[in-house]
Amino acid sequence: MPELLLELLSEEIPARMQARAAEDLKRLVCDGLQAAGLSFTKADAFATPRRLALVVDGIPAKQPDVDEERRGPRADAPAQAIDGFKRSLPKGATVELRDTDKGRFHFAVIKRKGRPVDEILHEIVYRTLWNFTWPKSMKWGTTDLKWIRPIQNLLLIIGGRVPHAPIPMLHPSRAGGEFLTGDASIEPSNQTRGHPFLAPKIFKVKSFADYKKKLRAAKVILDAAERREKIQADAEKLAKKEAGLKLKRDPALLDEVAGLVEWPVARLGTIDQAFMELPPELLTTVMRHHQKYFALTDGKGRLAPRFVVVLNTETRDGGKAAVAGNERVLRARLADARFFWDQDRKRTLESRVGDLGGRVFHARLGTVWDKVERIATLAERLAKHCNADPADARRAATLAKADLSTGMVGEFPELQGVIGRYYALHDGEKPAVADAIGEHYSPQGPNDDCPSKPVSVTVALADKIDTLVGFWSVGEKPTGSRDPFALRRAALGVIRLVVENKLRLPLGQAFAAAKAGLAGVEDGFDAADLLAFIADRLKVHLREKNVRHDLIDAVFAVEKPGGGREDDLVRLLARVDALGKFMKSSDGANLHVAYKRAANIVRIEEKKDKKRYDGAYDLALLAEDEERTLATFLAAATEGAAAALKNEDFTAAMAVLARLRRPVDDFFDHVTVNCDDAKLRENRLRLLSGIGSTLDRVADFSKLEGGER
3-state helix/strand/coil string of 652-706: HHHHHHHCCHHHHHHHHHHCCCCCCCHHHHHHHHHHHHHHHHHHCCCCCHHHCCC
Q: For position 173, what pLDDT does the model report?
A: 60
Please report, for residues 71, 401, 402, 506, the alpha-carbon distance to residue 389 in angstroms, rounded to integers and kept in the order given: 81, 20, 21, 19
Q: For position 93, what pLDDT does the model report?
A: 84
- What does the pLDDT average to over 566-590? 89
Q: Which residues, at least 6 apart from 375, have a Cβ–Cβ distance to it below 8 Å?
A: 397, 400, 459, 462, 463, 466
Task: Please list, residue by residue across 54-73, b when 16 or more beta carbons sit within 10 angstroms of its beta carbon and e when fewer do.
Answer: bbbeebeebbeeeeeeeebb
Under 8 Å between Cβ of 353 and 365: no
- What does the pLDDT average to over 620-645? 89
Rounded distance, CA 528 to CA 559, Å?
Answer: 13
| pLDDT tier for residue 91 given thresholds of 50, 70 and 90 | confident
Listed range (12-26, 309-323, 619-633) with the worst mean pLDDT? 619-633
Please report, for residues 289, 393, 558, 605, the alpha-carbon distance to residue 253 in angstroms, rounded to integers and kept in the order given: 9, 34, 45, 63
- What does the pLDDT average to over 293-310? 95
Listed ranges 139-143, 318-322, 565-569; the one with the highest mean pLDDT: 318-322
- What does the pLDDT average to over 147-172? 86
154 beta partners: 8
Does residue 338 carry a pLDDT above 60?
Answer: yes
Q: For position 171, what pLDDT does the model report?
A: 66
Q: For position 179, what pLDDT does the model report?
A: 45
Residue 177 DSSP one-character state: S
Q: For position 709, what pLDDT does the model report?
A: 35
Listed range (246-255, 306-315, 638-647) with the worst mean pLDDT? 638-647
Rounded distance, CA 705 to CA 552, Å?
Answer: 12
Q: For position 590, what pLDDT does the model report?
A: 85
Please report, for residues 4, 291, 341, 601, the alpha-carbon distance to residue 50 in angstroms, rounded to integers and kept in the order given: 20, 20, 39, 65
DSSP of 240-291: HHHHS-EEPP-HHHHHHHHTT-SS-EEEEEE--GGGGGS-HHHHHHIIIIII
Q: For position 181, what pLDDT does the model report?
A: 43
Q: Higher pLDDT residue, 351 or 480?
A: 351
Listed range (212-226, 319-333, 556-570, 631-645) with the worst mean pLDDT? 556-570
Under 8 Å between Cβ of 702 and 691: no
**Mean pLDDT computed over every residue of the chain:** 90
Does residue 707 carry a pLDDT above 60?
Answer: no
Does residue 484 carry a pLDDT above 80?
Answer: yes
Residue 383 DSSP one-character state: G
Q: 34-54 pLDDT, tens per residue? A: 988 888 999 999 999 999 999
Does residue 182 carry a pLDDT above 70?
Answer: no
Rounded distance, CA 313 to CA 307, Å?
Answer: 18
- What does the pLDDT average to over 138-157? 89
Q: For position 556, what pLDDT does the model report?
A: 82
- What does the pLDDT average to over 127-143? 88
Q: For position 172, what pLDDT does the model report?
A: 59
Please report, for residues 159, 440, 476, the alpha-carbon distance to residue 488 in angstroms, rounded to integers and kept in the order given: 48, 17, 12
pTM attached to this predicted model: 0.81
Listed ranges 237-241, 518-522, 549-553; the one with the highest mean pLDDT: 237-241
